[in-house]
């Protein structure tokens, strides 16, 4: 992309853009950076400029921000008046985080004396704030000779997005005129910051004539996002009118609390549903493991004439992944192309995850390799897929590729890779990878230690595994002790078993221990001919009503669901 305005931060960083004298020096010292041709349009050039402006607006509306900047440069090279599109270009700079470009554009606005225009000034302060420069954003605000309520709202909103509620409150109290947006920004900002009490106080202060449906919805959403469903329900029921977002906020809030029944009850009350409402319910079902219900709602949604979007697709792909419904997942993949659904990185990650979890690693890899942009979720999906299906070498290769791509692994990545090492018996590699967590600033959880204990235990290094359990910075949970017991069973180490039983009895109350503890102990004692102890474990299991869960397989040919169980004895 050819850019006339400099994008090199070194050319603009040292420019104090708020003082005219320094601005003039900057412009004079950088003649190549700023087009010096006429900035005034004529009746002859007006139609041309209108076409350019239309192109810029069209590119920005479609998300083609770089193309918008190219069109802008063409305007400048032709010497046309560009003032009308400055706010649009500043918006593009903000979205792309092109702070250097934005500063150079600020210099041009000072040269043409439009920097004091309230619309341009508001766009400038928004650009600086979104590029992470909240201090310069405030300088623009203070420099403006005229400010309207939109300017005040913009500055308050930027403070709130930067979690600076104190500065936002000071500005808010100084405002002579407030509109509904002002109040909504303040309520939303404090609610998102976790201070729901202040948010409610502000809500109570809103003048009656300014308390609109958005204000009520912001308050409801503030409660739901903080898990305060009783308070949210109280405000929701008091609403004089409800929009689709209020209904969806309540559905999502109940789903986050795991109360899908109440979420469905709210959904059933909606007088006229839209796609957002359907997505909230389907997503909530999938996230809570009610995947069959999610698929049923997906079918019902389409039967009522709604076309799924990318949000719907991500949720139903998750449901297919959890149910292992490869054929249904493939149908959804075909639907994406057939209905021309927007394919973003989340949809592609969902496809990789679905194929990987359903065991179709060939298609998982094909989708992954065709991606032009990959997020951490996508890398985790492909690594976990190979690890789960025993292809440890491939899982480690993808982990190496992830590191080489400068994509930062997270705690889920390390769980998957450690699991791959455990199943592949790669002890030294697993220890090496575990030590890398510190390099990425990640703190190992009990789950990571559990993976390492499992890795050492499977390899027969029970003493090292036991020593690791004793050195853990947190208290071992039942999963860690179960991993140790499992290793003792595999290697028939009765002495270590007795030691683990004593330790786990002290640290994990055997009254509340998981069923797997008793099942494993029963197997260990039986395999080592300690029949009396094995029988004692069986008696304890019978008294507690514990039964070994039978293995089962679920297949769904057509619309018929069949489950085949394996004898649990």
The 10s digit of each residue's pLDDT in 316-338 is 999 999 999 999 999 999 999 99
Which tokens is 147 given?
């400010």
The 10s digit of each residue's pLDDT in 131-158 is 888 998 899 899 888 889 999 999 999 9
- Give the structural domain span for 506: 447-548
Domain assignment of residue 464, yes or no: yes
Q: Is 341 a residue whose pLDDT tops 70?
A: yes
The 10s digit of each residue's pLDDT in 357-412 is 999 999 999 999 999 889 899 999 999 999 989 899 999 999 999 999 988 999 99
pLDDT of 60: 75
Which tokens is 227 given?
């898990």
Which tokens is 171 given?
């500005």
Q: Which of 115, 140, 172 is the last residue of a domain?
A: 115
pLDDT of 479: 76
Compute the distance between CA of residue 211 and CA of residue 181 in angstroms, rounded to an integer: 10
Q: Is 234 a residue whose pLDDT tops 90?
A: yes
Spatial CB neighbours of 548, under 8 Å, sequence gap ≥ 6: 515, 519, 568
pLDDT of 308: 96
What is the rounded end-to-end Cα distance, in angstroms, of the chain? Answer: 69
Its pTM surpasses 0.75: no
Instruction: With CA atoms as reference, report the closest residue to 396 among 366, 352, 430.
Output: 430
Give backbone dihedrals phi and psi of 81, rounded to 5 degrees, phi first.
-65, 125
The 10s digit of each residue's pLDDT in 432-468 is 999 999 889 999 999 999 889 888 988 888 888 888 8
Q: Is 32 a residue whose pLDDT tops 80?
A: no
| Angle in degrees, 0-180, between the axes of helices 310-323 and 275-287, rounded to the nearest 10 | 20
Instruction: With CA atoms as reference, report the closest residue to 352 among 325, 384, 327, 323.
Output: 384
Residue 63 region by backbone torsions, left for phi larger than 0, else alpha for psi between -120 and 50, else beta: left
Q: Is 22 a residue whose pLDDT tops 70?
A: no
Read off the pLDDT of each residue in 281-301 and give the average, rounded to a whole number.
96
Domain assignment of residue 513, yes or no: yes
Domain assignment of residue 280, yes or no: no
pLDDT of 351: 96
The kind and range of the H/E element at 538 are: helix 531-544
pLDDT of 98: 86
The 10s digit of each residue's pLDDT in 164-197 is 999 999 999 999 899 999 999 999 999 999 999 9
Compute the distance between CA of residue 392 and CA of residue 416 in angstroms, rounded to an integer: 10
Domain assignment of residue 245, yes or no: no
pLDDT of 436: 92
Write out the E strands in 237-338. Answer: none
pLDDT of 224: 96
- How many angstroms separate the Cα of 209 from the Cα of each of 146, 178, 181, 212, 213? 26, 12, 13, 8, 11
Contact (Cβ atoms closer than 8 angstroms) between residue 361 and residue 332: no
Q: Which of 97, 115, 133 is the last residue of a domain?
A: 115
Compute the distance between CA of residue 519 and CA of residue 9 in angstroms, rounded to an integer: 64
Q: How would DSSP label each residue in 57-97?
A: HHHHHTT-HHHHHHHHHHHHHTT---GGGHHHHHHHHHHHT
Compute the distance between CA of residue 434 and CA of residue 415 in angstroms, rounded to an integer: 9
Which has the higher per-residue pLDDT, 219 or 10? Answer: 219
Domain assignment of residue 465, yes or no: yes
Domain count, the chain: 2
Helices of type H across 210-274:
213-225, 229-238, 244-256, 260-269
pLDDT of 478: 73
Domain assignment of residue 41, yes or no: yes
Spatial CB neighbours of 80, under 8 Å, sequence gap ≥ 6: 41, 45, 48, 49, 52
Q: Name the pLDDT band for 315 (thresholds 50, 70, 90).
A: very high
- The pLDDT > 90 percentage for the chain reads 48
* Angle, vertex CA 242, rays to CA 240 and CA 248, nearest 5: 150
Compute the distance between CA of residue 128 and CA of residue 325 in angstroms, rounded to an integer: 48
Residue 258 region by backbone torsions, left for phi larger than 0, else alpha for psi between -120 and 50, else beta: left
Read off the pLDDT of each residue in 252-259 and give the average, rounded to a whole number.
96
Alpha-carbon dihedral angle through residues 216, 222, 223, 226, given to the nearest 10 degrees: 170
Domain assignment of residue 421, yes or no: no
pLDDT of 12: 34
Going 300 to 302 to 306 to 307, the CA torsion angle's sign is: positive
Q: Is 235 a residue whose pLDDT tops 50?
A: yes
Compute the distance between CA of residue 12 and CA of residue 34 in angstroms, rounded to an integer: 12
- Out of 11-15, 260-264, 287-291, 303-307, least confident range: 11-15
Most confident of the following: 346-350, 486-490, 551-555: 346-350
The 10s digit of each residue's pLDDT in 502-535 is 666 555 444 344 555 555 555 555 544 454 555 5
Q: Name the pLDDT band for 481 (thresholds 50, 70, 90).
A: confident
pLDDT of 17: 34
Which tokens is 429 given?
């590699």
| Angle in degrees, 0-180, between the axes of helices 275-287 and 244-256, rounded to the nearest 10 | 0
Q: Name the pLDDT band for 110 (thresholds 50, 70, 90).
A: confident
Compute the distance between CA of residue 59 and CA of residue 57 in angstroms, rounded to an integer: 6
Burial label, 237 (beta-carbon count in 10 A; 0-12, 13-18, 19+): exposed
Domain assignment of residue 276, yes or no: no
pLDDT of 518: 56
Read off the pLDDT of each residue in 223-231 and give the average, rounded to a whole number.
95
pLDDT of 517: 54
pLDDT of 460: 86
- Mean model confidence pLDDT for the chain: 81
pLDDT of 89: 83
């Amino acid at each position: 992309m050819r850019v006339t305005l400099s994008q090199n931060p070194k050319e603009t960083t040292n420019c104090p853009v708020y003082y005219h004298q320094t601005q003039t020096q900057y412009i004079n010292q950088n003649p190549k950076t700023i087009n010096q041709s006429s900035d005034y349009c004529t009746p002859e050039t007006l139609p041309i400029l209108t076409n350019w402006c239309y192109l810029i607006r069209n590119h920005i509306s479609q998300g083609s921000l770089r193309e918008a900047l190219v069109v802008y440069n063409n305007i400048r090279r032709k010497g046309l008046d560009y003032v009308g599109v400055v706010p649009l270009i500043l918006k593009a700079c903000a979205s792309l985080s092109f702070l250097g470009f934005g500063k150079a554009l600020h210099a041009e606005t000072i040269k043409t004396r439009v920097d004091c225009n309230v619309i341009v000034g508001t766009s400038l302060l928004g650009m600086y704030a979104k590029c992470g420069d909240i201090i310069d954003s405030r300088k623009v605000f203070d420099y403006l000779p005229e400010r309207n309520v939109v300017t005040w709202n913009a500055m308050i909103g930027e403070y709130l997005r930067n979690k600076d509620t104190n500065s936002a409150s000071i500005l808010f109290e100084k405002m002579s005129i407030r509109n509904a947006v002002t109040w909504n920004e303040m309520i939303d900002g404090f609610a998102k910051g976790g201070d729901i009490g202040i948010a409610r106080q502000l809500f109570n202060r809103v003048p009656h004539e300014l308390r609109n449906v958005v204000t009520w919805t912001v308050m409801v959403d503030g409660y739901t996002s903080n898990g305060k469903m009783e308070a949210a329900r109280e405000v929701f029921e008091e609403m004089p009118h409800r929009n689709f977002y209020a209904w969806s906020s309540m559905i999502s809030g109940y789903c986050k609390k795991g109360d899908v029944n109440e979420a469905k009850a709210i959904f059933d009350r909606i007088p006229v549903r839209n796609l957002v409402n359907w997505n909230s319910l389907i997503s909530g079902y999938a996230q809570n493991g009610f995947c069959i219900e999610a698929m049923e709602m997906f079918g019902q949604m389409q039967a009522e004439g709604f076309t799924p979007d990318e949000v719907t697709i991500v949720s139903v792909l998750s449901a297919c992944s959890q149910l292992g419904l490869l054929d249904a997942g493939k149908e959804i993949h075909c639907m994406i192309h057939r209905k021309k659904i927007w394919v973003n990185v989340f949809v592609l990650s969902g496809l990789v995850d679905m194929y990987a979890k359903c065991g179709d690693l060939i298609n998982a890899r094909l989708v992954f390799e065709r991606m032009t942009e990959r997020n951490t979720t996508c890398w985790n999906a492909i690594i976990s897929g190979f690890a789960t299906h025993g292809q440890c070498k491939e899982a480690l290769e993808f982990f190496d590729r992830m590191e080489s791509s400068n994509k930062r692994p997270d705690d889920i990545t390390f769980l998957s890779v450690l699991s791959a090492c455990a199943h592949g018996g790669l002890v030294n590699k697993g220890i090496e990878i575990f030590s890398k967590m510190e390099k990425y600033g990640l703190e190992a959880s009990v789950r990571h230690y559990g993976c390492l204990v499992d890795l050492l235990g499977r390899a027969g290094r029970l003493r090292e595994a036991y020593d690791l359990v004793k050195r853990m910075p947190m208290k071992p949970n039942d999963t860690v002790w179960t991993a140790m017991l499992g290793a003792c069973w595999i290697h028939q180490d009765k002495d270590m078993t007795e030691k683990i039983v004593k330790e786990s009895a002290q640290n994990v109350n055997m009254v509340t221990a998981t069923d797997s503890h008793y099942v494993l102990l029963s197997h260990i004692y039986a395999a080592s001919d300690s029949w009396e102890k094995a029988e004692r474990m069986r008696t304890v299991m019978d008294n507690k009503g514990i039964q070994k869960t039978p293995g089962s397989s679920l297949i769904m040919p057509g619309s018929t669901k069949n489950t085949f169980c394996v004898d649990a004895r």
